[in-house]
Protein backbone atom coordinates (compact mmCIF):
# COMPACT_ATOMS: atom_id res chain seq x y z
CA UNK A 1 0.00 0.00 0.00
CA UNK A 2 1.07 3.60 -0.54
CA UNK A 3 1.80 5.85 2.44
CA UNK A 4 2.18 9.62 2.60
CA UNK A 5 5.01 10.73 4.85
CA UNK A 6 4.98 14.42 5.70
CA UNK A 7 7.86 15.93 7.61
CA UNK A 8 7.49 19.42 9.08
CA UNK A 9 10.70 21.40 9.47
CA UNK A 10 11.76 22.94 12.75
CA UNK A 11 12.67 26.62 12.75
CA UNK A 12 16.10 27.45 11.34
CA UNK A 13 16.52 23.88 10.06
CA UNK A 14 18.16 24.78 6.74
CA UNK A 15 21.80 24.17 7.83
CA UNK A 16 20.89 20.77 9.32
CA UNK A 17 18.80 19.95 6.24
CA UNK A 18 21.72 20.68 3.91
CA UNK A 19 24.12 18.61 6.02
CA UNK A 20 21.79 15.58 6.18
CA UNK A 21 20.58 15.83 2.57
CA UNK A 22 22.99 13.28 0.99
CA UNK A 23 21.95 10.54 3.45
CA UNK A 24 18.27 11.49 3.09
CA UNK A 25 18.47 11.31 -0.72
CA UNK A 26 20.29 7.96 -0.58
CA UNK A 27 17.31 6.41 1.21
CA UNK A 28 14.90 7.88 -1.32
CA UNK A 29 17.05 6.63 -4.19
CA UNK A 30 16.91 3.13 -2.70
CA UNK A 31 13.10 3.28 -2.60
CA UNK A 32 13.06 4.49 -6.21
CA UNK A 33 15.39 1.74 -7.33
CA UNK A 34 13.11 -0.81 -5.65
CA UNK A 35 10.11 0.62 -7.55
CA UNK A 36 8.47 1.76 -4.30
CA UNK A 37 8.68 5.56 -4.62
CA UNK A 38 5.77 7.46 -6.15
CA UNK A 39 7.11 10.96 -5.43
CA UNK A 40 9.28 12.90 -3.04
CA UNK A 41 10.28 16.49 -2.58
CA UNK A 42 10.62 19.47 -0.29
CA UNK A 43 8.07 22.23 0.32
CA UNK A 44 9.67 25.68 -0.07
CA UNK A 45 8.95 28.02 2.82
CA UNK A 46 8.11 30.78 0.34
CA UNK A 47 6.40 30.84 -3.05
CA UNK A 48 9.55 30.23 -5.07
CA UNK A 49 11.18 27.30 -6.84
CA UNK A 50 14.43 28.09 -5.02
CA UNK A 51 13.63 29.56 -1.60
CA UNK A 52 17.27 30.43 -0.84
CA UNK A 53 17.84 31.38 2.79
CA UNK A 54 14.10 31.07 3.53
CA UNK A 55 14.56 27.31 3.36
CA UNK A 56 11.78 24.78 3.49
CA UNK A 57 8.69 24.16 5.59
CA UNK A 58 8.95 20.39 5.22
CA UNK A 59 8.91 17.49 2.79
CA UNK A 60 6.49 15.00 1.29
CA UNK A 61 7.28 11.39 0.41
CA UNK A 62 4.76 8.95 -1.02
CA UNK A 63 6.09 5.42 -1.07
CA UNK A 64 4.97 1.82 -0.88
CA UNK A 65 5.38 -0.19 2.32
CA UNK A 66 3.96 -3.46 3.64
CA UNK A 67 2.17 -1.74 6.52
CA UNK A 68 1.63 1.52 8.34
CA UNK A 69 4.07 0.32 10.99
CA UNK A 70 6.74 -0.31 8.34
CA UNK A 71 6.19 3.14 6.84
CA UNK A 72 6.39 4.74 10.29
CA UNK A 73 9.61 2.86 11.10
CA UNK A 74 11.14 4.01 7.80
CA UNK A 75 10.11 7.61 8.51
CA UNK A 76 11.44 7.48 12.07
CA UNK A 77 14.85 6.38 10.75
CA UNK A 78 15.15 9.29 8.29
CA UNK A 79 18.41 11.26 8.59
CA UNK A 80 16.34 14.46 8.75
CA UNK A 81 14.73 13.16 11.96
CA UNK A 82 18.11 12.31 13.47
CA UNK A 83 19.53 15.72 12.47
CA UNK A 84 16.60 17.60 14.00
CA UNK A 85 15.37 18.96 10.67
CA UNK A 86 11.84 17.69 11.23
CA UNK A 87 9.99 18.83 14.32
CA UNK A 88 7.15 16.45 13.47
CA UNK A 89 6.48 13.60 11.03
CA UNK A 90 3.05 12.35 10.03
CA UNK A 91 2.52 9.03 8.23
CA UNK A 92 -0.84 8.19 6.66
CA UNK A 93 -2.18 5.63 4.20
CA UNK A 94 -2.51 7.06 0.70
CA UNK A 95 -4.65 5.88 -2.18
CA UNK A 96 -3.45 6.92 -5.64
CA UNK A 97 -6.29 7.82 -7.99
CA UNK A 98 -4.74 10.00 -10.73
CA UNK A 99 -2.85 9.96 -12.98
| 9-37 confidence digits (pLDDT tens) | 999 999 999 999 999 999 999 999 999 99
Q: Per-residue confidence at 38, pLDDT binned at 50, 70, 90? A: very high
**Which DSSP letter does residue 24 get?**
H
What pLDDT score was predicted for residue 11? Answer: 94
SS3 annotation, 78-96:
CHHHHCCCEEEEEEEEECC
How many CB atoms lie under 10 A from the CB of residue 39? 12
Q: Per-residue confidence at 3, pLDDT binned at 50, 70, 90? A: very high
CATH 3.30.70.1060 fits 2-46+54-94, yes or no: yes
Amino acid sequence: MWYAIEGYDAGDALPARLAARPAHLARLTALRDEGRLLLAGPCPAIDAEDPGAAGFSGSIVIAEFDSLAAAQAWADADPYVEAGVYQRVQVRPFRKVLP
